[in-house]
Structure 1
Amino acid sequence: MALSKVLAERLFTHETLVHAISGAAGATVAMSLFYPLDTIRSRLQVEEGRESKSIVEMLRDIMESEGFEGIYRGLSPVLQSLWCSNFVYFYSFHGLRAVFSTDRGHSAGRDLMLATIAGVINVIVTTPMWVVNTRMKMQGAIAQYGPHDQENQSANYKFRSLLDGLITIYREEGVHALWSSTLPSLILVSNPSIQFMVYEALKRRCETLGIALSAGTAFSLGAISKCIATVLTYPLQVVDYRDTHFSTPIKEQRECGACWAFAPTEVMEAMRFGFRSAKVEKIAKSLSVQHLIDCSGVSYGCKGGDVCDAMDYLIATDYQFVLEADYLPYSAVKHSTCQRQVTPSANITIGQSTCEDFSKSEDSLLSFIAYHGPVVASVDATVWKDYLGGIIRYNCDAGPKNHAVVIAGYNLTHSPPYYIVRNSWGRSFGDNGYMYIATGRNLCGIADKITLLYPKYN
């Protein structure tokens, strides 16, 4: 049978269209009913400074400050996008299922493959819509800075409609911004794909055993399949090197501008433990930042400096890291000479270092963090002094770089997805020394200048 005839008879059918419309309509109705709760969830995730945390209090606060419109802000474009997204997914899945059907029926493996393909098609087609929806929903949200910082008190996106948002982002940020969350979305495709496969397999098993598929049974199968999918895909969606085994205690550079030394040292601590010391040490050990400042030969000291240049110098001189316990405690000053000659005890050096610009390909940066480990990011931290908590998702420009931090992971299950950033301003900063920056928009210039360190073990 010719391919065109197969497509005409199986892909473009009334049954496939009914499945797609039913799926889209069901999702749209459900979202319309529960949209206020979704708005509250998004606000609580972003506005951690709010005193009111309950659903009722949040509803009251939003309606008092923004009116009834506040709890339904962005509903229209969300419904449009949700309709398109579910229509594309269900049509793609059931259409492909019909095309590849055989006399032997359907199998779990085939369902997984087809669900994944349908999910990928859905992501590619509808990602720009969800980028606009996320920004529209947060119009009116409070930024996570100090109360005196009036300039950053509200999001500056005022899109009138879904189409207006698409056009505005395209004009002001370029076409790549519309697909900025493609990789996180593609990774998340695996979750519903596995869930659907497991659900279909369990449903077929029930049919084989003669168990009627009642509402309660269907609910139970759905819950079981979701749990299995989450367990299997969670490691891909959340990478977090803050685990106490990998991460040393948060450091505080104080008035010394030696972030150029702190960030690389902290990356090397995680690398050292993760790739070698875990066999003999139960937790990561701190390396000496003070030794790096005093004894490496890098002249920056407490005056600030370029991380890339500093790492090139350390490689050229084969600098040997030492454990913090073997040298002087950190004193926030650069001594004129190395204060103590010690035998390099950490058994690690920087074998190779490269500096890359990931501003146009943050998806590649996420992949590197997942498969390689923490990285050093040179950032514009001008507004960070007012950071109180939550996720920075706007009003943090990619200006001149004035600070260096560690990207210690990411979370793609959150809305919006975010980087986990380790700072060197003490535990009183942010979330016990960490902060969170939304992925996909190069906020604070976080992806402009990434230093990738490759350790060499002695």
Structure 2
Amino acid sequence: MEILKDIKATITFIVLATRYILHIFFGEMYVMAVDFEWNRFKLDYNKTYNDDMDEFSRYKVFRKNMARVEEHNERYKQGLVTWTIGINKFSDLTEEEYQEAVAAEKLKVEGEIQARTKHRMHEFNGNAPASMDWRQFGAVTQVRRQTCDRKCGCCWAMAAVGAIESQYAILYNRRVLLSPQELIDCSTHYKNRGCSGGSAKEAFKYIINNGLGSEFSYPYNAKNGTCYRNKPVAKLIDYVLVPNDEKHLIDAVGTVGPVVVSLNVQFMKGYTSGILKCPKKIPPNNHEVLMVGYGEENGVPYWLLKNSWGEKWGENGYMKIERSDGSTQCGILNPSYPSYPVIE
């Protein structure tokens, strides 16, 4: 017991000594401001840590991320970038830890190039409006939250049910909330892997054969479970692939409805608002979201995306990504083929 007390005393001394050094180097007012944001961050995101040393290591990471936020947003004020970043649930993670936290977002994309020649493709009709936001038509259901801190990589399931819910609203003026948990638990025979990743297209195949129950009857719990089925409230007869180019994607979103797309999350960590611009070279896609619109803001064209990280992330759960010629647009135009469901 005495040894344990000595260890705790040493940890406390290190924490206090380091904070004193921070006061000297950064100034009392700055450290007070960081401490205020840190305490608010822990409260807002219900953060708890193993011990004082663990919390202090997270605090140091948070402080570095906060400095990065201030530096980036100063560039935004100067007109050098078109989006802002801020504090969110990932702000106590290093870049490497963030990548690991979303690594569960493993997409099943093997064989999709071959599938293009074997499956129904979107037929271009050329009637898409100059801009679109399906939220304005009441065709987009609420933003869901995967709870990434529990590492349930079910973006594919949430994007799939969101697309189907939108089609019921557009075609039948009917509001349904469907069960992503049923897809997590029951579509493993369709090459999906529950919380370890999957594909909205494989989810569509499951629903074509089995239908899908409501979220009320099969609620989300952010982990793999035993499959059980209730009476389906939604049925599909097919799904459609969209050629991965801007012209066809605008046409599909503008004339049919929201479309499931994949991208890479590397540059989404601190996003809070504006139009995100990704570099031309990015890692493979590892996340699926619902594209609910497109438009232009201050001369910059964008895609409007509904994410599944909760309403506290981004613009109330949404984000804009720049769509420009010669860019992969954060992976959206990579060869993973956007898709949308055809409901019964």
Shorter-chain-normalised TM-score: which range?
0.5 to 0.7
- Kept after mapping to 2: 8 A contact 1:289/1:324: yes
What is the rounded CA distance, in whole Å, between the counterparts of 2:170 and 2:82 in structure 1?
A: 38
Q: Secondary structure at the match of 2:220?
A: coil
Q: Secondary structure at the match of 2:136?
A: coil
Are positions 1:287 and 2:178 aligned together? Answer: yes
Q: Give the aligned partner of residue 198 of structure 2.
A: 305
Structure 1, unaligned runs of 5 or more:
1-46, 53-57, 63-137, 152-186, 188-232
Q: Give the aligned partner of residue 112 of structure 1.
A: none
Which is bigger in relative contact order (C-alpha 8 A, separation at least 6)? 2
Counterpart mapping for 1:131-280 below 5 A: 140-141=80-81, 144-145=84-85, 236-243=129-136, 245-254=138-147, 255-276=151-172, 278=173
Are positions 1:447 and 2:333 aligned together? Answer: yes
Question: What count of residue pairs does the alignment treat as equivalent?
Answer: 232
RMSD value, Cα: 3.3
Q: CA deviation at 1:439?
A: 1.2
- Give 1 or 2: higher strand fraction: 2
Are positions 1:323 and 2:214 aligned together? Answer: yes
Q: Secondary structure at the match of 2:289?
A: strand
What is the rounded CA distance, in whole Å, between the counterparts of 2:171 and 2:86 in structure 1?
A: 40
User: Which of the residues 270, 285, 294 maps onto 1:410?
Assistant: 294
Are positions 1:429 and 2:316 aligned together? Answer: no
Q: CA deviation at 1:242?
A: 1.7
User: Which of the residues 332, 342, 347 maps onto 2:230?
Assistant: 342
What is the rounded CA distance, in whole Å, between the counterparts of 2:316 and 2:288 in structure 1?
A: 18
Q: Secondary structure at the match of 1:275?
A: helix
Are positions 1:456 and 2:343 aligned together? Answer: yes
- Kept after mapping to 1: 8 A contact 2:307/2:317: yes
Q: Give the aligned partner of residue 223 of structure 2.
A: 333
What is the rounded CA distance, in whole Å, between the counterparts of 2:284 and 2:243 in structure 1?
A: 14
Q: CA deviation at 1:296?
A: 3.7
Q: Secondary structure at the match of 1:390?
A: strand
What is the rounded CA distance, in whole Å, between the counterparts of 2:251 and 2:242 in structure 1?
A: 14
Q: Secondary structure at the match of 1:285?
A: coil
Q: CA deviation at 1:308?
A: 3.3
Q: CA deviation at 1:329?
A: 2.0
- Kept after mapping to 2: 8 A contact 1:237/1:413: no
TM-score (norm 1): 0.45
Q: CA deviation at 1:388?
A: 2.3
- Kept after mapping to 1: 8 A contact 2:289/2:305: yes
User: Which of the residues 380, 385, 388 maps onto 2:264?
Assistant: 380
Q: CA deviation at 1:393?
A: 2.2
Q: CA deviation at 1:51?
A: 8.5
Distance 1:342 1:292, change over 3 A: same
What is the rounded CA distance, in whole Å, between the counterparts of 1:368 and 1:356 in structure 2?
A: 7
Distance 1:314 1:322, change over 3 A: closer
What is the rounded CA distance, in whole Å, between the counterparts of 1:292 and 1:241 in structure 2?
A: 24
Q: Secondary structure at the match of 2:343?
A: strand
Identity fraction in percent: 29
What is the rounded CA distance, in whole Å, between the counterparts of 2:157 and 2:270 in structure 1?
A: 24
Q: Give the aligned partner of residue 3 of structure 1.
A: none
Name the larger-Rg structure: 1
Distance 1:319 1:143, change over 3 A: same
Q: Which amino acid aligns with 1:427?
A: E
Q: Which amino acid aligns with 1:289?
A: P
Q: Secondary structure at the match of 1:292?
A: helix
Distance 1:404 1:430, change over 3 A: same
Are positions 1:401 and 2:290 aligned together? Answer: no
Structure 2, unaligned runs of 5 or more:
1-69, 96-125
Q: Give the aligned partner of residue 367 of structure 1.
A: 251
Q: Deviations along 1:70-106, whole A, 9 cap, x unmatched? A: xxxxxxxxxxxxxxxxxxxxxxxxxxxxxxxxxxxxx
- Kept after mapping to 2: 8 A contact 1:247/1:269: yes
Q: CA deviation at 1:415?
A: 1.5
What is the rounded CA distance, in whole Å, between the counterparts of 1:432 and 1:352 in structure 2?
A: 31
Q: Secondary structure at the match of 2:222?
A: coil
Q: Give the aligned partner of residue 35 of structure 1.
A: none
- Give 1 or 2: higher helix fraction: 1
Q: Which amino acid aligns with 2:195?
A: C
What is the rounded CA distance, in whole Å, between the counterparts of 1:261 and 1:379 in structure 2?
A: 15
